[in-house]
Chain A
Amino acid sequence: EVQLVESGGGSVLPGGSLRLSCAASGFNLQTHWMSWVRQIPGKGLEWVANIKQDGSEKYYLASVNGRFTITRDNANNSLSLQMNSLRVEDTAVYYCARDDGVRAFDSWGQGALVTVSS
Chain B
Amino acid sequence: VVMTQSPLSLPVTVGQPASISCKSSQSLVYSGANAYLSWFHQRPGQSPGRLIYKVSKRGSGVPDRFSGSGSGTDFTLNISRVEAEDVGVYYCMQGTYWPYTFGQGTKLEIE
Contacts and interface: CB of A to CB of B under 8 A. Distances in A.
Nearest to A98: B50
Tier of interface size on chain A = 20 to 34
A61 interface: yes
Interface string B78-102: 0000000000000101011011111
Main secondary structure of the interface of B (DSSP, over half): loop
Most buried by B among A35, A50, A102: A102
Contacts of A106: 50, 53, 59-60
A14 to B, nearest CB: 24
B54 interface: yes
Nearest to B42: A45
24 contacts: A44-B102, A44-B103, A44-B104, A44-B105, A45-B40, A45-B48, A45-B102, A45-B105, A46-B102, A47-B100, A47-B102, A50-B100, A59-B99, A100-B50, A102-B54, A102-B95, A103-B38, A103-B53, A104-B53, A104-B95, A105-B38, A106-B59, A106-B60, A109-B47
Interface of A: 35, 44-47, 50, 59-62, 95, 100, 102-106, 108-111
